[in-house]
């Protein structure tokens, strides 16, 4: 991959009259290859004004880097951005995302307010920014204002936000959003995982189980969210039934899943549970520090009489 990007860079530097389109393609390639700093190097040499597509990509590069140089360039680009670009959703959303990464929430809010028409991606960038800066109440304020159909990504962010707050207001909004979520989103593993996690944090085990049962194709993450919820709600013994179901369906837990199961063993304190689970943990997972720590904690809590 690095050889491809080297070839692309060589070809790019050999072109005399570079267009915005060429810059945008090159910038995107560099960001994808974790070379965002190089984007700013090329921008310093740029002889033409960036159009809204190139600007969006530059904002993305600055957001990824999030260092002093990126902040300086990003804010300068934003200050000099033509007024008509502010109503371009892609450019403004990239600017909001960048400012939120910089921790400059006020400037992001100013841009958001100045936009005449907002789409779900714009709302998503704002909400994600609020969650990233731990302003969960502001995120909920925004969810109450959104008057357009949410997409699966925004539902996921909403559920994560409500799970973090876990107060009466968060429970009300989270459950309202879940009730109106389109049926087809229930089979989006990431969205359903966050919904299960939220309901378990609310202590609503039954609703979480209902969602779990309604999902056709379950990923490892879904099983993990359910088991983690059982541990949170003092129903660790149910984790072993879930693990049996995973075995029947040839679904192997990931590192997080194994650690949740070890946590369930620790809470149950039953020696036969612990031995049964530990004997099945792959060696590469057993060798991980987090797993070893969880295992030590588990063995300390075991009642060796059972």
Q: What is the pLDDT of residues 139-198, one digit of tens each?
A: 999 999 998 899 999 999 999 999 999 999 999 999 999 999 998 898 899 999 999 999
Give me the number of domains the chain comprises.
3
**Of 63, 96, 114, the domain-final residue:** 114
pTM of the model: 0.82
Q: Which of 3-7, 231-235, 270-274 has the lowest mean pLDDT?
A: 3-7
pLDDT at 32: 94
Q: Calculate mean pLDDT across residues 203-229.
A: 96
Domain that holds residue 18: 1-114
Residue 124 lies in a domain: yes
pLDDT at 4: 84
Residue pair 139/130 in contact by the 8 Å Cβ criterion: yes
* Predicted local distance difference test score (pLDDT) of residue 147: 87
SS (H, E, C) 102-160: HCCHHHHHHHHHHCCCCCHHHHHHHHHHHHHCCCHHHHHHHHHHCCCCCCHHHHHHHHH
Asked if residue 224 belongs to a domain, the reply is: no
Residues linked to residue 303 through DSSP beta bridges, in sequence order: 270
Mean pLDDT (whole number) for 64-69 = 98
Q: Is residue 222 part of a domain?
A: no
pLDDT of residue 3: 66
26 and 73 together in one domain: yes
Percent of residues, the chain, with pLDDT higher than 70: 98
Same domain membership, residue 130 and residue 198: yes
Could you give the CA distance from residue 276 to residue 12 in angstroms, rounded to a whole number? 58
- pLDDT the model gives residue 186: 86
Does residue 3 form part of some domain? yes
Q: Pick from 215, 244, 249, 250: which is nearest to 227 by CA?
A: 244
Alpha helices for the chain (secondary structure H): 2-14, 20-32, 36-45, 52-65, 68-80, 89-102, 105-114, 120-132, 136-145, 152-165, 168-180, 189-202, 205-214, 220-232, 237-248, 255-268, 271-278, 283-286, 289-300
223 in a domain, yes or no? no
Do 124 and 197 lie in a common domain?
yes
Give the per-residue pLDDT at 86: 86
How many Å from the N-terminal Cα to the C-terminal Cα in the chain?
A: 55
Q: For the ranges 3-7, 101-105, 257-261, which has the lowest average pLDDT? A: 3-7
Within a domain: residue 43?
yes
Examine residue 195 and state whether it is found in any structural domain, yes or no. Answer: yes
Asked if residue 220 has pLDDT above 60, the reply is yes
Does position 305 have pLDDT exceeding 70, yes or no? Answer: no
The answer to whether residue 108 is domain-embedded is: yes
Do 126 and 213 belong together in one domain?
Answer: yes
What are the distances in angstroms from CA 71 to CA 45, 86, 95, 107, 121?
Answer: 18, 19, 11, 13, 23
- Looking at the fold, whether 179 and 257 belong to one and the same domain comes out as no
Contact 222, 254 (CB under 8 A): no
Task: Give the percent of the chain with pLDDT over 90.
Answer: 87
pLDDT of the residue at 2? 63
Q: What is the mean pLDDT of the chain?
A: 94
pLDDT band at 226 (very low <50, low <70, confident <90, very high): very high
172-181, 221-230, 297-306: the lowest-pLDDT one: 297-306
Residues 159 and 209 in one domain: yes
Other CB atoms within a 10 A radius of the CB of residue 289 amount to 7
Would you state the pLDDT for residue 72? 98
């Amino acid at each position: 991959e690095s050889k491809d990007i080297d070839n692309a860079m060589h070809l790019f530097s050999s072109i005399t009259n570079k267009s915005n389109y060429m810059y945008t393609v090159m910038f995107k390639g560099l960001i994808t290859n974790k070379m965002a700093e190089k984007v700013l190097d090329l921008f310093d040499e740029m002889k033409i004004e960036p159009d809204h597509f190139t600007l969006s990509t530059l904002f993305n590069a600055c957001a990824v880097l999030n260092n002093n140089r990126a902040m300086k360039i990003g804010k300068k680009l934003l200050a000099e951005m033509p007024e008509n670009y502010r109503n371009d959703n892609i450019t403004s959303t990239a600017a909001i995302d960048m400012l939120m990464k910089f921790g400059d929430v006020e400037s992001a809010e100013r841009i958001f307010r100045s936009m005449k028409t907002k789409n779900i991606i714009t709302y998503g960038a704002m909400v994600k920014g609020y969650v990233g800066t731990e302003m969960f109440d502001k995120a909920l304020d925004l969810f109450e204002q959104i008057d357009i159909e949410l997409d699966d990504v925004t539902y996921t962010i909403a559920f994560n936000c409500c799970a973090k707050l876990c107060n009466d207001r968060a429970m009300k909004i989270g459950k309202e959003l879940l009730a109106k979520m389109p049926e087809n989103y229930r089979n989006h593993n990431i969205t359903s995982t966050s919904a299960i996690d939220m309901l378990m944090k609310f202590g609503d085990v039954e609703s979480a189980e209902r969602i779990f049962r309604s999902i056709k194709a379950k990923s490892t993450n879904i099983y993990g969210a359910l088991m983690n919820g059982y541990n949170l709600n003092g129903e660790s013994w149910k984790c072993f039934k879930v693990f049996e179901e995973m075995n029947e369906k040839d679904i192997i837990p990931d590192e997080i899943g194994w650690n949740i199961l070890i946590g369930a063993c620790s809470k149950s304190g039953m020696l036969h549970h612990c031995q049964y689970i530990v004997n099945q943990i792959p060696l590469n997972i057993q060798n991980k520090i987090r797993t070893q720590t969880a295992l030590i904690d588990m063995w300390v809590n075991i009642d060796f009489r059972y």
